[in-house]
Amino acid sequence: ALEEDGEDKPKNRRFACQRITPLNHPNQKFTEALEFLEKAAELRMGDNSRSRALAFRKASAALKALPEEIKKPEDVENLYDIRGGAHCKGVILDILENGYSAEVEGIKRSDWYQNMSLFTGIYGCGISTSAKWCQMGLRSLDDVKGSYILNLTRSQLKGIEYYNDLNTPVTKEEAKWIHDAVSQEVAAIQPGSTVVMTGGFLRGKDTGHDVDFLISHPEEGKEKGILGTLLQALTKKGLLDYTDIQNSTVTKTTVQTGMDASRNTMDHYERCFSIFRLPKTAQSHRSDESSERTVAEDSAAMDVVPPASESSPSMDVTPANGTAIPGLSLLEKTNGSTTSPSEIVQKTEDSGRSWVARRVDFVIAPAGQYAFALLGWTGSKMFNRSMRDYTNKVMNMNLSSHGLFDKTNNCSLQAKTEEEIFELLKLDYKPPEERNC
């Protein structure tokens, strides 16, 4: 009977990728609580914390596809990914009765959570490093900076230096400016290339934790070499502060078998995780200005750093101020109840820099794998996870950001567009705005 329910009601299909999941939905307070608990479960690092986290996430995804606000426990009783979860149902019930989840509020107030979220908010600092620092008795960014035994990585040093900037959500306007700057360079390097802003912004979000760019060229092979030259060009213009380049690890097997497709979100493309220097003149609060400034004008307005001094860390006069902002790394998900973005921007404005730091990801895909790369880098992560799960369980195929492999017929399937991939998988096409699970 439940399977039939699924057929009739697109909102209660078994896999999230079969449901329409818009960005805005009427059950925000429930999904925020569930995703907070997802994050908290991950931070806890217990034996089955990964699967507990996933259960919260799946429950949240189920609610995001509901067009109506939940009014009573029975409203979620039959939903896939909730009906078996006593814990999730308890959280929903609590919110229905009291307007908030006591469990969530309790965790938010705990020292453990505040410390962990402070440290995981440092770019380059993962959950296990954060836990180690907590265990060592470190409690603030100043504690971390003052410790001589930590051997901070290059990315962690940047993460501390630009703590406030990197925990300030990137706005759509900022992302557009960066997109223009990147497109301009890429067009000069390899005419005919495509630069698509993927990730959350492509799904219609107004802010993001970073900006994601997928770069390709319709002629297979012409995408080669673009990334290195692009990074050099941006650095020369003073627009890049940090790059972490990962060379392509694509092999014939990864493409053809869709290996490590299901679990791992990491793919094998040539990519770069970077920190971009966004000129303050390019930020949105200049919107009252009548004159549209160009990328070139904005970067000229900054003191463009000559490449030679690039490696000198002393150029940023103001280090991160070390103010502990508990919960900041979860700013978006918790709806900014702790610190408002404007407060944080206020703090960075005293930095004496003419730019703010923003996280930017670049990924390069060859034409033959482009549709799969686009699908993968558009997300959401939950959408990808569910689509790969569906592909495996229902179609007996493997889907990855590189390709689609049919295990029954032992062959890989080609696709030029996302629409073709959905068709091969016998799924109704969902535009990016409907993949916000």
- Interface with ligand 8DG (CB under 6 A): 199-200, 205, 208-210, 212, 265-267, 376-377, 379-381, 384, 401
Piece of the chain touching Mn ion by CB under 5 A; list 127-135, 195-203, 290-298, 429-437: 195-203
Asked about 361 being catalytic, the answer comes back as yes
Concatenate the DSSP letters of all residues of 329-352 into one string.
Answer: GGTTTTTT-SS-HHHHHHHHGGG-
Site for Mn ion in 261-290 (CB under 5 A): none
288 has catalytic annotation = no
- Check if the beta carbon of residue 119 is closer than 8 Å to that of residue 130: yes
CA of residue 59 relative to chain centroid, distance: 20
Closest approach, Cβ 58 to Mn ion, in A, equals: 21
Specify whether the CB–CB gap between 298 and 282 falls below 8 A. yes
Which CB, 121 or 376, lies closer to ligand 8DG? 376
Residues of span 311-370 touching Mn ion by CB under 5 A: 361
> Are 334 and 36 within 8 A, CB to CB?
yes
Residue nearest to ligand 8DG (CB): 379
Considering only CA atoms, which of 378, 410, 355 is closest in space to residue 166?
A: 355
Nearest-approach distance from CB 364 to ligand 8DG, in angstroms: 12
Q: Which is nearer to ligand 8DG, 20 or 330 (CB)?
A: 330
> For the purposes of burial, counting CB atoms within 10 Å of the CB of 287, is it exposed (0-12), middle (13-18) or buried (19 or more)?
exposed
- Between 35 and 212, whose beta carbon lies closer to Mn ion? 212
Q: Quick one: CA dihedral 347, 349, 355, 358, positive or negative? A: positive
d(CA 227, CA 378): 20
Phi, psi of 312 (to 5 degrees): -75, 115
In the complex with ligand 8DG, the residue whose CB is nearer, 299 or 400, is: 400
Residue 120 to residues 91, 125, 160, 214, Cα–Cα distance (Å): 25, 6, 11, 26
Q: Which of 75, 260, 361, 406 is catalytic?
A: 361
303 tagged catalytic = no
Q: Which does 205 bind (CB under 5 to 8 A by kind): Mn ion, ligand 8DG, none?
A: ligand 8DG
Examine residue 199 and tell whether it contacts Mn ion (CB under 5 A). Answer: yes
Q: By CB under 5 A, what part of segment 205-244 binds Mn ion?
A: 208, 210, 212
Residue 174 binds Mn ion (CB under 5 A): no
DSSP E strand boundaries for 260-311: 270-279
Cβ nearer to ligand 8DG, comparing 237 with 358: 358
The entry of Mn ion, ligand 8DG, none that residue 266 binds, CB within 5 to 8 Å by partner kind:
ligand 8DG
With CB under 5 to 8 Å by kind, the binding choice for 120 among Mn ion, ligand 8DG, none is none
Site string for Mn ion, 25-44 (x = CB under 5 A): --------------------
Q: Which residue has the tokens 């195929």?
A: 397
Which of the choices ligand 8DG, Mn ion, none does residue 377 contact, using the CB cut-off of 5 to 8 A by kind? ligand 8DG
Helical H segments across 190-251, by residue range? 199-202, 226-236
Where does this chain touch Mn ion (CB under 5 A) — which range of 24-32, 193-201, 233-241, 364-372? 193-201
Rounded to 10 degrees, the C-alpha dihedral 346/347/353/355 comes to -50
> In sequence order, which residues have a C-beta less than 8 Å from that of residue 99 and are 6 or more positions away?
29
- Which helix (DSSP H) or strand (DSSP E) does residue 241 occupy? strand 240-246
Token representation of residue 144:
């971390």
Shortest gap between Cβ of 117 and Mn ion (angstroms)?
19
Least Å from the CB of residue 203 to ligand 8DG? 7
* Distance in angstroms between the alpha carbons of the first and the last residue of the chain: 25
Least distance to ligand 8DG from the beta carbon of 269, Å?
A: 8
Judged by beta carbon, residue 158 or residue 237, the one nearer ligand 8DG is: 158
322: which 2 tokens? Answer: 């070390």
Among 212, 241, 267, 298, the one annotated catalytic: 212
Supply the minimum distance, in Å, between the C-beta of residue 436 and ligand 8DG.
Answer: 9
CB of 199 to ligand 8DG, least distance (A): 3
**Residues classed as catalytic:** 210, 212, 361
**Could you list the residues that contact Mn ion (CB under 5 A)?**
199-200, 208, 210, 212, 361
